[in-house]
């Protein structure tokens, strides 16, 4: 890492450093609306192919809302370099062109001139994304017509559904020359009420709470459901956050992103229930601690002190400074499901719809995903339910299971929590190959 910094310093002084690291890349801003500016960062594939465009383009979306794809998705999960600025051996860039997008506007290096330009609904996020992709293709016309796949984690999976609908609509109208082939929803916030109502049963089955704890969690979760059913969406969001705190109390702070681990014993802290839940989702981890490993960067420092000058980000933009506001502006939409959008994709398009889940996740737990999947109304619903679940073998190791029919598939991934590509790269290869034929 220190050699990397020396090279960075020398090249910066010579004013010839136009990228971050040695990987071929492209980056830029697209003004998606008046006052709303979205940032993207593309890494070209390192696959041995005659042209970059011989491999698909994958868009990676982070959760939150307010989590940065260019920061978290890139350096913490699947980009070409990790937080030590060392090459990641399982990076998706080995097989694909990967486009990290800071969305919604206000996330990461994306920004709005005034907070009133932030989005408040999933559909608004989707419309901004279409404009972002129009700008991306204008800057990078060689990718027009190249197979496009959208992979979203957590809230990113929710965003991907409406993005696919709006992208398909634009393709049909001939207003964008993309070739969207599929979307993947990883441990996604698709039906929030279903997820919240299954926390208690999962924790009880795993032996992490007793009957008293289970009943307390369920009572709080059912109150979130009641508020949602009454149309009190912001109140339901607040009650969802309160339910998380009930879980903390009765499990001695189980890690919501991996039920086999614990959070620090000083949580919950002085933050409110909603603030704690917000910070968990934005930062893709249940808590923030100083980085003890002297060879690993703090992400906030890395993005604002090394990446920002290298990519010539405007001086007035601070990575992540508007993320809390992004989350707050989505409060009324946060608990709303996007299952109708998934049904529309299955009923009206040929777009591949993939759901994958790490079985150790709690916040977007697998039992909650299965509930909404089994309720989907589409022509292949019965055939999917009756399909045989197949094992996923990678190098002689059972990495999970999958079930598929038509253009819908579900992947259960073993030994993985909320961030499957990071927790189980081998298992991730299965759903990548299934959708793209590469991986």
Strands of 118-275, DSSP E? 147-153, 179-186
Output the pLDDT for position 263: 83
Distance CA 189, CA 161 (A): 11
| Tokens read off for 201 | 């049963």
Ordered DSSP codes for 336-386: ---HHHHHHHHHH---EEEEEEETT-STT-HHHHHHHHHH--STTHHHHHH
- Domains of the chain, earliest start first: 18-191+333-436 (3.40.50.1820), 192-283 (no CATH)
Residue 42 and residue 140 in contact, taking contact as beta carbons nearer than 8 Å: yes
Q: Which residues pair with 358 in a beta bridge?
A: 413
Q: Is residue 316 annotated as part of the catalytic site, yes or no?
A: no
Of 168, 250, 283, 418, which one is the catalytic site residue?
418
Distance CA 224, CA 274 (A): 13
Instruction: For residue 194, give the nearest of 257, 240, 260 by alpha carbon.
Output: 240
- Where residue 80 falls (left for φ over 0; alpha for ψ -120 to 50; beta otherwise) is alpha
Q: Is residue 361 annotated as part of the catalytic site, yes or no?
A: yes
Output the pLDDT for position 21: 93
Of 361, 365, 423, 434, which one is the catalytic site residue?
361
Instruction: For residue 40, give the nearest of 117, 94, 97 by alpha carbon.
Output: 97
Output the pLDDT for position 151: 98
Of 68, 69, 110, 154, which one is the catalytic site residue?
154
Low-confidence ranges of the chain (pLDDT < 70): 1-18, 265-268, 286-294
Q: Which residues pair with 357 in a beta bridge?
A: 412
Distance CA 146, CA 177 (A): 9
In this prediction the pTM is 0.94
Ordered DSSP codes for 312-350: T--TT--TTTTHHHHHHHTTTTTT---HHHHHHHHHH--
Residue 342 and residue 162 in contact, taking contact as beta carbons nearer than 8 Å: no
């Amino acid at each position: 890492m220190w050699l990397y910094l020396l090279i960075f310093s020398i090249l910066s002084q010579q004013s010839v450093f136009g990228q971050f690291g040695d990987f071929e890349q492209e980056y830029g801003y697209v003004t998606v609306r008046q006052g709303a500016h979205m940032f993207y960062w593309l890494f070209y594939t390192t696959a041995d192919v005659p042209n970059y465009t011989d491999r698909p383009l994958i868009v990676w979306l982070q959760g939150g809302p307010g989590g940065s794809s260019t920061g978290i998705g890139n350096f913490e999960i699947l980009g070409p370099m990790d937080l030590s600025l060392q090459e990641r051996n399982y990076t998706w860039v080995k097989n694909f062109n990967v486009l990290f997008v800071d969305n919604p506007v206000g996330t990461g290096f994306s920004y709005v001139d005034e907070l009133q330009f932030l989005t408040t609904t999933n559909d608004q996020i989707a419309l901004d994304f279409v404009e972002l992709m129009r700008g991306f293709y204008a800057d990078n016309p060689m990718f027009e017509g190249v197979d496009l796949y959208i992979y979203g984690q957590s809230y990113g999976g929710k965003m991907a559904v409406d993005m696919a609908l709006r992208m398909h609509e634009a393709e049909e109208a001939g207003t964008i020359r993309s070739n969207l082939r599929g979307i993947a929803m990883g441990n996604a916030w698709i039906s929030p009420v279903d997820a919240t109502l299954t926390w208690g049963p999962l924790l009880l089955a795993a032996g992490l709470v007793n009957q008293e704890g289970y009943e307390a969690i369920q009572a709080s979760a059912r109150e979130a459901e009641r508020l949602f059913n009454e149309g009190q969406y912001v109140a339901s969001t607040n009650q969802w956050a309160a339910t998380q705190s009930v879980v903390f109390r009765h499990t001695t702070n189980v890690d919501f992103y991996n039920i086999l681990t614990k959070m620090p014993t000083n949580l919950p802290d002085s933050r409110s229930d909603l603030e704690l839940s917000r910070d968990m989702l934005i930062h893709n981890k249940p808590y923030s601690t100083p980085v003890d490993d002297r060879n690993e960067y703090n992400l906030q420092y890395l993005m604002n002190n090394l990446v920002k000058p290298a990519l010539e980000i405007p001086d007035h933009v601070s990575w992540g400074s508007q993320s809390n506001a992004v989350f707050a502006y989505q409060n009324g939409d946060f608990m709303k499901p996007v299952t109708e959008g998934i049904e529309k994709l299955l009923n009206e398009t040929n777009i591949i719809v993939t759901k994958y889940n790490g079985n150790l996740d709690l916040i977007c737990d697998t039992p909650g995903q299965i509930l909404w999947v089994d309720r989907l109304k589409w022509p292949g619903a019965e055939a999917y339910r009756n399909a045989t679940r197949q094992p996923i073998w990678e190098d002689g190791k059972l990495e999970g299971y999958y079930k598929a029919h038509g253009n819908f598939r579900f992947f259960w991934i073993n030994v993985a929590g909320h961030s499957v590509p990071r927790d189980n790269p081998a298992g991730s290869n299965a759903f990548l190959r299934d959708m793209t034929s590469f991986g």
